[in-house]
Amino acid sequence: MGNEKGYLALVLHAHLPFIKHPEYPDFLEEDWFYEAMVETYIPLLNVFENLTEEGTDFRLTMSLTPPLCNMMEDPLLIERFRHYLNQRVELSQKELNRTQGTEFEGVARMYFNKFRRYQELFEHRYHGHVLEGFKKFQDMGKLEIITCCATHGYLPLMVHKESVNAQIKIAATDYRSRFGRNPRGIWLAECAYNPGDDKFLRDEGIRFFFTESHGILHGTPRPKYGIYAPVYCPQTGVAAFARDMESAQQVWSAESGYPGDPRYREFYRDLGYDLDYDYIKPYLHSDGVRRNIGMKYHKITGKVALNQKQAYDPYAAREVAAQHAGNFMFNRQKQIEYLSTIIDRKPLVVSMYDAELYGHWWYEGIDFLEYLFKKIYYDQDEIKLVTPSEYLEMYPQNQVVQPSMSSWGDKGYHDVWLNSGNDWIYRHLIKSAERMMELANKFPNASGLLRRALNQLARELVLMQSSDWAFLMTTGTAKEYSTKRTKDHIKRFNELYEQVQGNRINEAYVYELELKDSIFQQMDYNVYSSAAKETVLKKY
C-alpha cells in the first residue's frame, strides 16, 4: 500500500445475448454485435494498446460474458463482422471526397481514421480474434476479466439449484478454455443475487461478485463500512462488492450525466437516413430500408429538432471528454477524502457500468476512459485504481455479512424480469430445467447421437434462460424478437425431449439445432445430473 487515500475499481459489464442466424444471409438483430464490436469492444482494446505503448499503467475489471465470448469466436459471425467493418471503411473513404470543403470534413476524416485503425487491430494484431487482445491485457495484469452466468440467466428466479449450478459451471468451464485460468470473479446477470448462490461460485473457485448497493446495505448484520468495502458471505467466504451510486449517477443520468453535453455526438441523427438513397443503399440491409448505419455527423447541440442539429466537431468533443474525466476524478478524490474521515480503512469506490454505454451510447465515453486512466496515473496520488483481486490481497480481513437478495434493475429486485408481460415464461423455463435433470439422471453415460441430443437440449435450456428475453419483453424494444426466441427454444427443447423419450431421435433435426444454437461447443449435459449437485429445492 502506498500513500493513496483510497481506491477506485472501475467495472465494465460487456454482454450481448447469443444472436446468430446462419439460416438467413442477413439478419437485423446480429447488428447489435457488429455495432458493439466497432463502437465499444475494439475501441476499448485500442485504448489499452495506446496506454500500454505510452507507458500509462491502468486497472480495469471487465466481464466478458460467455455468450459474448462465444460470438467473438464464432467463425460465421467473425466473417460477417469482417464484411461489416470493410463496408464501414469503404463508405468512410468515399465520404472523404463527398465532404471535402464542407463542415463535415473533420468528422468524416475521424470515421475513416478510426475504422482503418480498428480494421488494422482486428485483422493484423488480433487475427480476427479480439479475445486475443483482451487476454493479452489480462496476462499483463492491467485488465481483470471476469465471467458471468452462462447465458446471463437470472438466478433468483431459478427454482432448481441445479440450474443455478449449471449456469455457473458452464460459464467457468468456458472461461477456462478461453483464458487459460480460473475466473476469479463473476458478474451475476443483472447483479441479481440470491442468498446461498455464492456456494456455487465457491465450488468453481470464484472469489468475488458484485451487487447493487442495497445488496450489502440490507445485509445481515449491518455492514460496518457500508458499500465502501467488500463483505464475505457466511460459510463460503466469497466476497461481495457493492455498486457506488454517486459515481454511477454522474455517467448514467439522462439530465445531469456527462453524456448529455451538447458538444457530444447525437445518437439519433444517422447517415443511414441523411444520405442520398442510391449512394447509401449498398450499406443498408438487403431489404433496402433506411436504418442507422452507425455514422453520425451531428452533435447534440441542445434541445432542438433532429434537423436543427449542428455539425459535430471531433476535437471539441474530445476536449469535453477530457474535462469530464477531470471532473469525475476530482469528485472521486473528494468522495474518498470524505469517506476516509468516517471509516478506519482506505475506502473503496466501485463504479459499475454497462460496457456498451461507452462508445455505443456515449460515443466519447471511450475518450473519457482514456483520459481518466491518464489523469489518475499522472496527475495525482490520492486515489489508485485497483481490481477486486488486488483489493482482497491488500485487505484479506473483511466483515462477514449475508448480502440481501437484490438486483440492479428498476426498483431493486425482480420486477423487470417478472411481471404480467413476461411471467408466462417461467412455467416453461422451470419445466424444461426439470426435464433436463430427469434426462441427465436417466442417461448418465450417453454416447453417439443420444449424447449429441442431450447436449443440444442443455444448449436450448440455457439459451431460453437468458435474462435478455424477459428484459426486452418488459422494455418493449425487440419484444417480438425476444418472445420468438423464448418460444423457439421452448419448442426445440420440447421436440427434442419427446424424441429422446420416444427413442426416435432425428439426426437431421439435431444437426440443424447444433448449427443454429451453436453456443458452448464443449457442453456436457451431465452438469444437470443430481450427482453433479445436491438438490437444494426442498419439496415437502
Partner 1 sequence: MSQHVSSGSIKEPILKDPAAEADIPSGYGKTESYLLPKDPAWLFLFWEITQNTLDCIKQQYSENTLKQAHTVIRLHDITDVAFFDGTNSICYYDMPVIFEARSWYINAPQTGRTYIADLGYVTADGQFILVSRSNPTTLPPGHISNIIDDKWMIVEGDFQKLLKLAGADYIGLGSSERMHVIGERWKLTELTPSGAPSSWSSFSLHLDKVEEEDIWLKADCEIIIYGSASKNAIVTINGKEIELKEGKFSIRQPLPAGSVIDLPIHARNAKGDKTRHIQIKALREQGK
Q: Which is nearer to partner 1, 78 or 343 (CB)?
A: 343
- 204 vs 244, beta carbon nearer partner 1: 244
CA distance 224 to 147: 28
* Residue 483 C-beta: closest distance to partner 1, Å: 6
User: How far apart, in whole angstroms, are the C-alpha atoms of residue 465 and residue 473?
Assistant: 14
Rounded Cα distance, 281 and 288, in Å = 6
Instruction: Please report how close the Cβ of residue 6 comes to partner 1 at its closest, in angstroms.
Output: 13
Least separation in angstroms between residue 56's CB and partner 1 is: 19
CB of 100 to partner 1, least distance (A): 32
Provide, rounded to whole angstroms, the least separation between the CB of residue 251 and partner 1: 10
Q: Specify the residue for cell string 442443455.
A: 458
* CB 352 to partner 1: min, Å: 13
Task: Using the minimum distance from each CB to partner 1, give the nearer residue, 166 or 416.
Answer: 416
Rounded to the nearest whole angstrom, what is the least distance from the CB of residue 394 to partner 1 in the complex?
A: 18
Of 366, 409, 376, nearest to 258 (Cα)?
Answer: 366
**CB of residue 131 to partner 1, shortest distance in Å:** 32
Select 140 or 342, whichever has its Cβ closest to partner 1: 342
Q: Nearer Cβ to partner 1, position 238 or 280?
A: 238
Cβ proximity to partner 1: between 26 and 410 the closer is 410
Best CA proximity match to 95, nearest among 110, 82, 83? 110
Scan for cell 430445467, then name that residue: 433
DSSP secondary structure, 96-115, as one string = HHHTTTSTTHHHHHHHHHHH
H or E element, residue 22? none
From the CB of 247, what's the least distance to partner 1, in Å? 9
Closer residue to partner 1 (CB): 145 or 191: 191
* DSSP label of 415: T
**89 vs 245, which CB is nearer to partner 1?**
245
Cα within 13 Å of Cα(513), Cβ side = 26
Long-range contacts formed by 409-417: CB under 8 A, 24+ apart: 409/190, 409/192, 412/212, 412/214, 414/154, 414/156, 414/157, 414/192, 416/190, 416/470, 416/471, 416/474, 417/154, 417/157, 417/190, 417/192, 417/467, 417/470, 417/471, 417/474
281 vs 334, beta carbon nearer partner 1:
334
The CB-of-310 to partner 1 minimum distance in angstroms stands at 19
Bridge partners of 504? none
Closer CB to partner 1, residue 261 or residue 514?
261
Residue type, 9: A
Minimum CB–partner distance for residue 17 and partner 1 (Å): 19
Measured CA to CA, the distance from residue 449 to residue 344 in angstroms comes to 61
First to last CA, the chain: 52
Sign of CA dihedral 373, 375, 378, 379: negative
Instruction: Give whole-number Cα distances, 525 to 331, 381, 382, in Å.
Output: 49, 51, 50
Minimum gap (Å) between residue 25 Cβ and partner 1 = 26
CA dihedral 323, 324, 325, 330 (to 10 degrees): 90
Q: Nearer Cβ to partner 1, position 69 or 372?
A: 372
For partner 1, give the closer residue by CB, 273 or 338: 338
One DSSP character per residue, 337-377 reads HHHHHHSSS--EEEEEEEGGGBTTTBTTHHHHHHHHHHHHH
Residues near 307 by beta carbon (within 8 Å), at least 6 away in sequence: none
Diameter over CA atoms, the chain? 77
User: Shortest approach of partner 1 to residue 261 CB, angstroms?
Assistant: 8
Question: Grid coordinates representing 336?
Answer: 474518498
- Beta carbon nearer to partner 1, 106 or 412: 412
Q: Would you state the cell numbers that stand for residue 272, as one nine-digit string? A: 443511414
CB 22 within 8 A of CB 367: no
